[in-house]
Copies of this chain bind each other. A is one copy, B any other.
Amino acid sequence: MQQLESSLEQRMPPLTKSAVLVIGGAEDKVHGREILYTFFERAGGRDANIAIIPCASREPSIISERYRRIFDEMGAKAIEVMDIRDRQQGEDPVWEKHLENCTGVFMTGGDQVRLCGLLADTPVIEHIRRKVQIGEMTLAGTSAGAAVMGRHMIAGGGSGESPNRSLVDMATGLAILPSIVVDQHFHNRNRMARLVSAIAMQPDQIGLGIDEDTCALFEGDSVFGVIGKGTVTVVDPTEVTYTNEPDIDATEPLSLHNLRVHVLTHGDRYDLQHHHIVSH
């Protein structure tokens, strides 16, 4: 493990700043742990003061324990679990105190609607957003924890249909990265049609479809790099010339002309603001 982590350390970009990690779910927790190790390093490594937020999960104790053990094995200095189970509890000043010294927050999987219901517009999430914005905290979210990153969030949906509005349920996310709509377990659960449907409804956003054990790593500006075993699919509607979206019923098929799509793999980097690949 120690040896593997040393070799990973050499592959990582320089640790110049904090980061936001948007993880497609099912990240490796046993072998290389590449994504989790990147989070740990970006949070400060052996100086990391990590908070685990298990609020998306209905089994917050079990899931927290699993991540606590992993970050403990990696050598984090301190690990807190913010097991907030109702909004009132979320206003307890004890959490603010935890967050003051915290260098890394990890949001687990579960149900993104539950996570937003507990955290949206609370002092906790405002504190996190502020520290992330000024580069004093690394934030990671996996699966449901990734889904909440945008202002517009995919709350649920289906597959096996032509793109249409009823294929996707939209809700309001935590707006950590306001210009993106995230879909996770992306190719693993065949979610292209639902992400395309979401983007037809939010054509001022960029869709990011993130596969399992794969991560979009944002480093404080609008550029993200891809880490992991699968792909990050960018669905960019900036150049769209026509859609029937305003004119049809919710179950009718959506047209979208001139989408730009990028399928990115480990090591690729993309500039969200300027809508292009950072040269290979």
Given contact pairs A163-B263, A187-B160, A189-B160, A253 touches B241 in the complex (Cβ within 8 A): no
In the bound complex, residues from chain B placing their C-beta under 8 Å from that of A160 are 187-190
Main secondary structure of the interface of A (DSSP, over half): loop
A160 to chain B, nearest CB (A): 6
Which residue of chain B is the closest to A192 with respect to CB atoms? B192
Spot the interface stretch: A55-63, A71-79, A130-138, A254-262.
Answer: A254-262
Inter-chain contact B257/A211, CB cutoff 8 Å: no
Chain B residue contacts of A231, Cβ below 8 A? 162-163, 253-255
Contacts of A162 in B (CB 8 A): 187-188, 211, 214, 229-231
- Size category, A interface: 35 or more
- From B161, B187, B193, B255, A265 is in contact (CB under 8 Å) with B255
- Given the complex, which residues of B lie within 8 Å of A254, measured CB to CB? 231, 263, 265
Return chain B residues, CB-CB under 8 Å to A188. Answer: 160-162
Q: Are A258 and B262 in contact (CB under 8 A)?
A: yes
Judged by a CB distance under 8 angstroms, whether A196 is at the interface is yes
Q: With A187-B161, A242-B277, A253-B230 in contact, do A259 and B258 touch (Cβ < 8 Å)? A: no
- Interface residue A101 (Cβ < 8 Å from any Cβ of B): no
A198 on interface, CB distance cutoff 8 Å: no
Docked complex Cα distance between A190 and B268 (Å): 25
Contact mask for chain A residues 239-277; partner B; CB cutoff 8 A; 1 contact, 0 none: 001101000000011111111111111101000000001
- Is there a chain B Cβ closer than 8 Å to A280's Cβ? yes
Besides A162-B211, A258-B262, 10 other A-B contacts (C-beta < 8 A): A159-B190, A160-B188, A161-B188, A187-B193, A196-B263, A230-B253, A253-B265, A256-B262, A259-B261, A259-B262
Closest 10 pairs between A and B when the two form their complex, measured CB to CB: A190-B190, A162-B230, A192-B192, A255-B265, A259-B261, A256-B263, A162-B231, A261-B261, A162-B187, A231-B253
Nearest CB of B to A169, in Å: 18
When the two chains form their complex, are residues B257 and A277 in contact, meaning their CB atoms are under 8 A apart?
yes
* Alpha-carbon gap, A258 to B230, bound state (A): 18
